[in-house]
Each structure stands twice: as C-alpha cells, then as structure tokens.
Amino acid sequence: MNLGVGKEVPEAKTDPIPVSGYGTWVSEIMLQQTRVETVVEYYLKWMKRFPTVEELSKASLDEVNAMWAGLGYYRRAKYLHLGAQKVVGDFKGKLPETVKGLREIPGIGQYTAGAVASIAFGCVTPIVDGNVIRVLSRLRALKVRPVASKFIWSHATTLVKNCPDIKSFNQGLMELGAMVCTPRDPKCDACPLREYCHTSREVEVQIRPFDVKFQDGDACEICEKVPLTSLSCTSYPLKKIKKKPREERMLFVVFVKKTKNGREFFLMKRDAKGLLAGQWAFPELLLEKSETATKANVLKCLEKYKSGFPMKDVTEFRACGEIVHIFSHIRQTIVIAFVSSSKSLQFPERECTLIKEKEFIKFGVTTGVKKVFKAVLKNLKTPKDSKTIDAFFKRKKPSTAKPSTAKRKRGSHVVA
C-alpha cells in the first residue's frame, strides 16, 4: 500500500484507495511531523468517514477533530477542514491541479502543493521534504541546516526539468532518502547516485574543497561557516539546532457531575487561537513551580473562567497526582484535581459539555486530556488518602444532638 508519498506501508485489510488529489492532500497533511506507521490507520478511517472533499466540508469541526484525535498538531485538521470548505465554495468542489492554484487553499504550502500537483496531477514540479533535503545536501556536500532553503528548491527544480515521469521521480527521490540515504546509517554501497555524490568523494579522499580545516581555499558562499570535526556521510546536512522545551506546570480541574446513571465529565472549548486551539479540554490554570492541587488554586481556576459555582456543593475532592505531557516546545507537568458534585458547572463565555464516562475516550479529545482522564479513573479506584485532600474541602456537618438535660454533680452540690 502506498499513501502517495513514496513510502510503502504494510498492506491493510481494505480495498485499495485510488490516487486522487484529495487523498494525496490528506495523506500529505497527516504525514507532516508523524510517522507513516502511525498515519495508516488514521488515513483509512478518515477516507472512510470523509471519502470526498464535499463530505469533509459539510462536517463540523468537532467531527473532524474526533477523527484526528491522537495524531497531534491539531491545526492540521483545522486547516484541512477550512481547505475543504474553500475548495467547495470557490472551486466548485474540484481541487486545483496546479501549484499556484493549490497554494490558494488554507494550510497548503509549497511542499504540499508540489506533492499533490506532481503525484495526483502529473505536474512537472519538485517536492522538497526532509528526505529530499538530506539527499541533495549529501549529493552536493552542502554544509547547511536541514531546511528547505531557496538553493535546495532551486536545485530540486533543476533536477525535475523535462522529467518524463514526475510522479515516479519525486516518489523515488523521497524513497531514496527514506530507505538508502538515511539519517544515521546510510547504505552508500547501494546508492544509485554514488558516482555523482560529492560527499562520497570527500569521504573517500578525506578532503573537503574550500574548507580551511581540510584544505586551503576560500569558503563556500552557500555553506554555513561551521567547522566540521570529521568527514563522513552523516556530516551532511548539519544537525538541527534544537531548543530545549520550556517547563510549564498546569493545574487541570477534572469536574464531574454525579447522576443516577453514573459520572459525567465536564469539558470546555479552548480559545480559538494558541496551543490546541478550539479543542475540548478540562479547565486549567498555570501554576508556579511548587504549587499543588489546593482549594485556592481550584477557586482561581474557576474565577479565570468567570464561573460562580458554589464550593459548598462539592461532595468530593481529590488531588490525583501529576503526569508529564510533552509537546514539541513545552514539557508540561499536569497537576490533577478531581472535583465531584451533583450540580452542573457552567462557564458563561465558553462552549461547555458533559460527557458520560463510558463515552469519553471516543468523544475526540487530545492525547493529553485522555491521559488526565485515565489518571483520574486509576486514582478513583484507590482509597482516598487524607493527606492529599485539601482541608478546605472538609465541610463539618452541623451537630444534630440535643442539649443534655441530665443532672451532674459539682463537688457536693447537685446542679441542673
């Protein structure tokens, strides 16, 4: 089975999906930042639920997010949805067949436009993904970071000029990078481009032209002025400069309404912009480094969303520990507070909903929200530890005992 990007995956027990502009577009968006093995199942389910661009355009964003849940980078799903509406509204449901036309669709950049145009419609245009960048960087021994620079695009454009079978060429070049010219252990002996490869020649003679460390001469204007410590195929391209993810500590308040039919979990819609925009989530509050799940912080969280929920209606509170959830740029420590009541919670400025416990996982929430949900269920199976319960939530019940009228002795006197 081929997803239309030159990447073979195990055969699925399903009828083959013919190559189309829409199918190639969906697969390309799913494969951004995500492994092929992960994408296959999601792609097949997506194409079954939204087989055409018209079906996708008619769906609600919640339905789209539910199908996407677990793939991460949820903006991709949002832009697929927006893009489908653009195609239906402005192009009468027919996907443009040129790079220029495809670039008018929200969420389609230069790479995706090239992939759809060449693979689905046979346009002679290059594709530059991470695999192609690596192949071209090594082919020309470019001492550059692995980004789709103007030079790389220009070089790729030169390669495809007058190509008689652009679909096979582009897929083959990506396949070469994925299977032969790999990041860590390239199979140079099996590479069909070895005799043309500048890096292979440099490794053989251990000389890099125009690099002061290995040979006198002027520095290359294209390459970065970064000294190489050795000459090997894996020296190119240069390693990415990775930023350390920032640390973040968040309180998630898992509010549950108890009914005669079981628990219902409260969720709210996140802001339309920012991290996980528009996704369903538990109420949250940014904490300081040492802060924990206390009544004060729960109240701050509720005040943040302008909720007037009376804390006297709380029937149970638990601090359910902490979990770590990692985004590409954030390492988030999630502090979990469980709050239960027979009354409903509402945030006046947010879209809110209650989800039955048995339906929660299928509802279509992010991986982080699922992790919090599972942590709460696990905690609820264990006896409450009084040390973890915020003392402010302990409500003393008024005494119902009647004043005693029995006589008692004081010394030798009797008093009533």
Other CB atoms within 10 Å distance of the CB of residue 262: 11
* Alpha-carbon gap, residue 244 to 130, rounded angstroms: 21
* Alpha-carbon gap, residue 322 to 124, rounded angstroms: 52
**C-alpha pair distances (Å), 385 with each of 56, 323, 374:** 48, 18, 19
Max intra-chain CA distance, the chain: 120
Could you tell me if 85 and 46 are in contact, meaning their C-beta atoms sit under 8 angstroms apart? no
Could you tell me if 298 and 253 are in contact, meaning their C-beta atoms sit under 8 angstroms apart? yes
List the catalytic residue out of 11, 28, 37, 221. 28
Task: For residue 28, indicate whether it is catalytic.
Answer: yes
Residues with a known catalytic role: 28
